[in-house]
Structure 1
C-alpha cells in the first residue's frame, strides 16, 4: 500500500500491484470538494484524450463508509470501456479524471458528489451526496495496450 495525500493531513492508502484487484483504505477526514486524480502507478503507454475509447479495470468505495460498492474485478475481471472519453455515459468524474491517463496507469480518483451521483445517489447502493473513491487501471486506449 502506498499513501496518497489528498489534502494536508489526509491520505488515502492504495495498493500498487496492478495484477490484483485494488485495495483502498479511506481516511477519517473531510473529503476534497474538487475532483482529485493522481496516479498511484505510472504507465508508459498511449495517453487518453477526449474522444478516445479507454478500456479499464476499476473498483469503487464510498468515502463516508469506506465500503466497496462496485468493481469490474468482481465480474471476472472483464474490462469496462469508457467511450468516448469526455462525454462517455459514465459519471462526469470519470470523464474528467481519466483525461491524460496512460496505458498502465493505476489512477486514484476521489470524486465529489457534483461529479458523481449528486443528491440522488444511485440505486440504494450509493448514498445521496456521497464522495466516491475509485481506483482505475488503464488497460488500453483505442484498442492499443
Structure 2
C-alpha cells in the first residue's frame, strides 16, 4: 500500500523502534497519535518538553534522538523555534501523548537538508515524539 506510515514499537517513555514499509514515504505532512495523553493540551506559544527520535525515511538509525541522550528537549512550539512540521503538528495534542510525525522536506529542512546529520534535501523525516509537559 502506497504512503504507509512506519511501524513503531515501544510505549510512551520507551526508546522507539521504527520499521519502514517497502512503499515510498508518505506525501505531505502527517501525524498519527499512537498514545493519547490525558494531560493539558499543547497550545501554540507554549513551551513544550518532549522526548523525540528522528530518522530519515527508510534509514536504520536516528539522526537525532533525545531518548538516546537521556535528555528531553524544551522549546517554544508554534512560534518558529523548531521546524515547521513540528510547529504545525504538536499543538492540539495532550501531555502524555506519543505522536508519529512524517515531515516532507518543505516542512523540515528544505532542499538543502542537513548534510552533516545525514539529511538530504529530498528526505522525508519520521519522528516519534512523547509530549512530557507544556507551560
TM-score norm. by structure 2 comes to 0.91
Stretches of structure 1 lacking an aligned partner (at least 5 in a row): 1-6
Cα pair 1:59 1:135 within 8 Å, conserved: yes
- How far apart are the structure 1 equivalents of 2:75 and 2:2? 32
- Paired residue secondary structure (1:109): strand
- Tell me the residue number matched to 1:133: 126
What do the CA deviations read for 1:6-50 (whole angstroms, capped 9, x no partner)?
x76724211241231111112221222211011111100000011
TM alignment of 1:1-145, pairs within 5 A? 10-75=4-69, 77-83=70-76, 85-125=77-117, 126-142=119-135
Q: Runs of at least 4 residues of structure 1 off by over 6 A?
A: none
- How far apart are the structure 2 equivalents of 1:80 and 1:50? 17
- Paired residue secondary structure (2:128): strand
Cα pair 2:5 2:26 within 8 Å, conserved: no
TM-score norm. by structure 1 comes to 0.85
Deviation at 1:98, TM superposition (A): 0.3
Question: Which stretch shows the higher mean deviation, 14-23 or 88-97?
Answer: 14-23
Cα pair 2:2 2:26 within 8 Å, conserved: no
Stretches of structure 2 lacking an aligned partner (at least 5 in a row): none
Cα pair 2:4 2:26 within 8 Å, conserved: no
* Backbone CA RMSD of aligned residues: 1.6
> How many equivalent residue pairs?
134
